[in-house]
Amino acid sequence: MISEALKRIKPSATILMSQKARELKEKGHEVISLSAGEPDFAPPEHILKAAIEAIKKGANKYTAVDGIVPLKQAILEKFSRDNHIHYDLSEVMVSTGGKQVLYNAFVATLNPEDEVIIPAPYWVSYPQMVNLVGGRSVFINTTAESGFKITPKELEKAITQKTKWLILNSPSNPTGAVYSKEELQAISKVLLKYTHVHIMTDDIYEHIVFDDSPFATIAGIEPSLKDRVLTVNGVSKAYAMTGWRVGYCGGNSELIKAMTKVQSQSTSNVTAVSQYATIAALQGDQEFLIDNVALFRKRRDLVVSMLNNIPGLHCGVPSGAFYIYADCQGVIGKKTPKGSVITSDEDFVMGLLESEAVGLVFGAAFGLSPYFRLSYAESEENLMLACQKIQTFCNSLS
């Protein structure tokens, strides 16, 4: 019954861990789930108002597959204003989340055995999507010492005749690593040499950066690469609109046309109401982003200091997004009070969920062990409680 293609892929580990936490909650346990990647607050009022207005005005019909023109116009303006990339209407489209943008792009471009270079650790869905459409993931393993970032040399070594895409995700899920403008310029130099390589840059955490160096994206800093770059973004994270399902992208018109064709035979347009709300998100006041970043920074600092006080765990200070990717090498080989040995980051995360009802995601799902990912898009109170519980669990190990 089930296709060979589907048998090749795994379900999303982040969704799986969130589901496990939900099941425990339903059984009456007080669970703190730090496994999902979504802000714990609502979108700003003006976005909600725009959606209600759209409903009242009758936004009930199908729209153009690639998005309504006023939204595409708002996207052009956003790319130009924030990223210095100048697209026209034929070079942007709207999809059901950044997730569908990426999936459309792979379906539209990958032939069997085409290679996609993915820096590891990576967002869980990249290799699974590549696998599903018959492509091949080529990983560049990064380390905490390199700030979880690839170097131009490592990139050059990974490129072959079959390379179709390089994926860049900055700020990164799961590590929070952010590439500086200079680092991207150095990577661009390699990419300029290999004209058959395209770049998918996943900028979904663009607005959540903590350092003074501003966010940079490759088509903005190296305009001569623009036609080979698909710039992916969305409103899920910065605007707290995960459930509204709106992602968008800019790329060359031939690629956008092909991706629109894919979408026309799968989901058609993004929900009309969500499209109107997204116009308000992109064109409205952006000041609240500053407050949100300050809030995330405070939470980041709290969790980093608490985790680094727990014997067996260690983490650096991430520069963006709302995740901490913590090293748990120090607990591997230890025994739980029930007598089972922790042999992997998955054992650690599962043991923690069972003993202390705290949900994290194990590093193996992101391609680098032994680590775990903690999402600090949660209240300070819950973060503090969760860190105390992680400490209790680690102290119970022998």
**Binding footprint of ligand PLP on the chain (CB under 6 A):** 37, 97-99, 123, 169, 173, 202, 204, 234, 236, 242, 247
**Smaller CB distance to ligand PLP: residue 122 or 393?**
122
- State the nearest-atom distance from the C-beta of 246 to ligand PLP, in Å: 7
- State the nearest-atom distance from the C-beta of 167 to ligand PLP, in Å: 9
**Smaller CB distance to ligand PLP: residue 173 or 275?**
173
**Smaller CB distance to ligand PLP: residue 198 or 310?**
198
Is the peptide bond prior to 152 cis by the omega test (within 30 degrees of 0)? no
Residue carrying the six token digits 């650096």: 316
Nearest to 150 by CA among 176, 107, 114, 179: 179
**Smaller CB distance to ligand PLP: residue 123 or 165?**
123
Question: Are β-strands 136-141 and 115-120 bridged in parallel, bridged antiparallel, or unpaired?
Answer: parallel
11-29 burial, b at 16+ Cβ within 10 Å, e below that, comes to ebbbeebbbbbeebeeeee
The Cα 368–Cα 329 span in angstroms is 12
- State the nearest-atom distance from the C-beta of 161 to ligand PLP, in Å: 28
**Smaller CB distance to ligand PLP: residue 44 or 320?**
320
- State the nearest-atom distance from the C-beta of 288 to ligand PLP, in Å: 19
Helix (H) or strand (E) holding 192: helix 181-193
**CB within 8 A of 167, min separation 6: which ones?**
116, 117, 118, 119, 122, 126, 199, 200, 201, 202
- State the nearest-atom distance from the C-beta of 28 to ligand PLP, in Å: 29
**Smaller CB distance to ligand PLP: residue 188 or 242?**
242
- State the nearest-atom distance from the C-beta of 321 to ligand PLP, in Å: 8
Which residue, judged by CB position, is nearest to ligand PLP in the bound state?
Answer: 97
Give the angle 133-63-232 at the CA atoms, nearest 5°: 45
Give how far the C-alpha of residue 36 lies from the chain's centroid of Cα atoms, to the nearest Å: 11
The Cα 37–Cα 35 span in angstroms is 7
- State the nearest-atom distance from the C-beta of 333 to ligand PLP, in Å: 31
Phi, psi dihedrals of residue 42, rounded to the nearest 5°? -90, 160
Long-range contacts of 112-115 (CB under 8 A, 24+ apart): 113/162, 114/162, 114/163, 114/164, 115/160, 115/162, 115/163, 115/164
- State the nearest-atom distance from the C-beta of 194 to ligand PLP, in Å: 24
User: What is the token pair recorded at 363?
Assistant: 């590093």
**Smaller CB distance to ligand PLP: residue 37 or 318?**
37
**Smaller CB distance to ligand PLP: residue 208 or 386?**
208
- State the nearest-atom distance from the C-beta of 125 to ligand PLP, in Å: 7
Phi, psi dihedrals of residue 309, rounded to the nearest 5°? -95, 0
The Cα 190–Cα 186 span in angstroms is 7
**CB within 8 A of 297, min separation 6: which ones?**
210
**Smaller CB distance to ligand PLP: residue 247 or 367?**
247
